[in-house]
Amino acid sequence: MYIICLGNYPPRQCGIATFTENLVNALFGASLALGEQLRVDLIAMNDGESTYDYPEIVKYTIRDRVRADYEHIASVVNNSGADVFLLEHEYGIFGGDSGILLLSLLRNLKIPVVTTLHTILQKPGFHQYEAMKRVAAYSNALVVMNSLAIDFLTSVYGVESSKIYHIQHGVPDFNRKRTLFNELPDSWSGRKVILTFGLIGRSKGIETVLRALPAVVKRHPKFLYVILGKTHPNIIKHYGEEYRDYLKSLILANNLEHHVEFINRYVSEDELVNYLHHADIYITPYLNKAQITSGTLSYAVSSGCAVISTPYWHAEELLADGRGVLFAFGNHGQLSGIINQLADDEDRLKTIQEKAHNYGQTITWAKIGKAYIDLFRIVIPKKKADPETLHESYPDFDISHIRNLTDFTGILQHARANIPCYKAGYCIDDNARAIVLSLAAWSRFNNNIYLTLLSRYLGFVNYMQKENGCFNNYMNYERTVIKDPSEDAYGRVIWAIGHLIRFAPSDSFFQMGMQIWEKSIVHLDNLVYARGYANCIIGLYHYIRRFPDQERFRKLLVMLSNKLVEKFKQHSHENWNWFEDSLTYDNGLLPASLYKSYSITSDPVYLEIADKSRIFLESKCMNNDWLSLIGNSRWLQLDKEYYMFAQQPIDAMAMIMMYESAFKATGNTEFVQRLLVSFDWFFGRNDLNVSLFDHETKGCNDGIEEFNINRNQGAESNIAYLISWLITEPYRVSNA
């Protein structure tokens, strides 16, 4: 059996590193007992630029914030001949928000994956939810150390219970290690010792114990409280020893100098076993219920300490049946009473210690190692888990966030998260697109709410039209119009009004559309940019579908299409088949407009240029099994590097429009499959491997950054997502 394991590893000092080392040793011990050969190679996570003097078992390392390292390791694992990939998962040890860079490794693996989950949140944030959902999807088996975690995984994250296995946190065999219990610290001699150990930080709640101690030492003056462990390195990095200094001030204020001892270092397991053996009571005074696993608690129980703990999730399970005592979060009065009761009742103290120690014998590392070996035997014959289970069905159409952004003036441009940003005001681009969305939604669902929205967006566009037929672009929240004309904005209005004229739900909407159209159409001759041509071609396409006999508009469509073709001929050459010297934004609209021109005119030149430009765009955006959009931070120019992040939903919508236009123009069903791939960009089939759809707000996030999803949910992104939903629905239904 050949296992490759990824996690933290000593000499890096943290709980995951210790767990990984102990589990690997347990695997070797179990395989030896079973008479089987075992090979284990380690891949260790490095934090930032830190490096460690790893033992020989560590074959590779990953720098947590370097995406290329994850992708390289996936290739290494796939070519290694390993039977299974064992992942020690904790959000904070991997790069990106909530460790999402790990997903690029998991996506590329080709062997079965077993994942040990060290943290499972009942109320995850967006990135935490997405990371856990996808780690679970890529794993053949998930190991949890608390039975409550099974319910969280199934109810919160939708994980199938069949892939969840409950294997406890392992502990040393304290019976076998008794020969180590011979080094009583001098300061402990003749004392009753209370112990807390682990990396120190405010979440540990140590101040609760310090506030309880005066009532304890007054009655039992021999008690000594030992705080064993260094301050957490992340806390040191950002806050120094502020928390430890605060604890020291509490000690002085309560005259506890002779009753509290700090051991400010990271100790070996043998040292820890020795300290636990000589302690009488162990306390975990954590402040938060949401801790699903605590290795320190498992060790303390198994050592035979009488454990007193706040009722966080792991403690409630592990201390059941008389194996310990629980007290309320932050209740130092209750805690002091429990300690005094145990000190007064030696028989009860010993009963708790014996129950805890006996339970510990059932979860020794030897037994845990065998449980993992048994699990590997189940998993190894299987293929890698199918990540397509990430979304069994698409979310329903929901405009609640669009309504949230819309007032009696129109739709606001931006949002901070899902909260409307009034300072950004309104723009005509978003209101024009919102007209298209409202019309399409009304046509699909026949609900009058879409007509109400349509009237507001159309009213805004009408107000922003100038006497000469052009349009102002921006209005602030104080309703002051900012004169900032734009070809893009003009073209999007022509697209929207052409769409309205074709699909007007009533004569009043139609007449308003015609008034705006007639005033604005006179400026088509003045356009000079490719996207202006493309947007107007799409608007003309819809107008002509309503009035196919009006030759004037057919000629305008041909005129703009020829100009776009000329742009292509001017800028294209051997390795560059495009309309400009760079690939920027809304790229798919350019080929889409020529496919629509071909649908009207049957001119083969339009089809030829549409195909050539589409194929070129695909060579940059469709090299994987997913859509990889041009990033808007640095656009793509010939022979120059470009930035693949700051990808935006509006560009995904443009690709979807391109493929639908291509399919309708040619009847080639391959375009339907690519259309669906492009829609899946919204749901995690993208470079970051994370969904942009927010299941909580029903909104769409603003884009894909290098280490996270942009959590703002502005008008453009949500309109783009919902238009894409409506375009793709018929193909999703027929493809199901």
Q: Compute the Cα dihedral for 544, 550, 553, 557 and give only its sign.
A: positive
Q: Which helix (H) or strand (E) holds 412?
A: strand 412-416
8-state DSSP, 13: -
Q: pLDDT tier at 178 (50, 70, 90 boundaries)?
A: low
Backbone torsion region of residue 99, taken as left when φ is above 0, otherwise alpha when ψ lies between -120 and 50, otherwise beta? left
Amino acid in position 603 = D
Is the Cβ–Cβ distance between 328 and 343 less than 8 Å?
Answer: no
Residue 725 has pLDDT above 70, yes or no: yes
Q: Beta partners for 144?
A: 166
How many Å apart are CA 418 and CA 439, to the nearest integer?
A: 24
How many Å apart are CA 656 and CA 666, to the nearest integer?
A: 15
Average pLDDT, the chain: 94
Whole-number pLDDT of residue 152: 96
Is the Cβ–Cβ distance between 487 and 531 less than 8 Å?
Answer: yes
Cα-Cα-Cα-Cα torsion 475, 476, 479, 480, nearest 10 degrees, comes to: -70
Whole-number pLDDT of residue 392: 59
Is the Cβ–Cβ distance between 661 and 675 less than 8 Å?
Answer: no
Is the Cβ–Cβ distance between 20 and 87 less than 8 Å?
Answer: no
Q: How many CB atoms lie within 10 A of CB 407?
A: 14
> Which tokens sit at 599?
């649908």
- pLDDT, tens digit, 9 for 90 and up, residues 5-45: 999 999 998 889 999 999 999 999 999 999 999 999 999 99
Whole-number pLDDT of residue 643: 77
Which residue segments constitute the domains of the chain, with CATH numbers given? Answer: 2-170+369-390 (3.40.50.2000), 178-362 (3.40.50.2000), 400-735 (1.50.10.10)
- Judged on CB neighbours under 10 Å (0-12, 13-18, 19+), 463 is middle
- pLDDT, tens digit, 9 for 90 and up, residues 614-660: 999 999 999 889 999 999 888 998 777 777 899 999 999 999 999 99
Give 242-245's long-range contacts (Cβ < 8 A, gap of 24+): 243/200, 243/201, 243/202, 244/200
Residue 673 has pLDDT above 80, yes or no: yes
Question: Helix, strand, or coil here: 95?
Answer: coil
Is the Cβ–Cβ distance between 64 and 12 less than 8 Å?
Answer: no
Residue with tokens 């919160």: 156
Q: 49 or 80: which carries more pLDDT confidence?
A: 80
Q: Beta strands 412-416 and 192-197: pairing type?
A: unpaired
Question: Helix, strand, or coil here: 165?
Answer: strand
Whole-number pLDDT of residue 14: 86
Q: Beta strands 582-583 and 481-482: pairing type?
A: unpaired
Range 203-228 average pLDDT: 96
Q: Beta partners for 115?
A: 87, 142
- pLDDT, tens digit, 9 for 90 and up, residues 302-330: 988 999 999 999 999 999 999 999 999 99
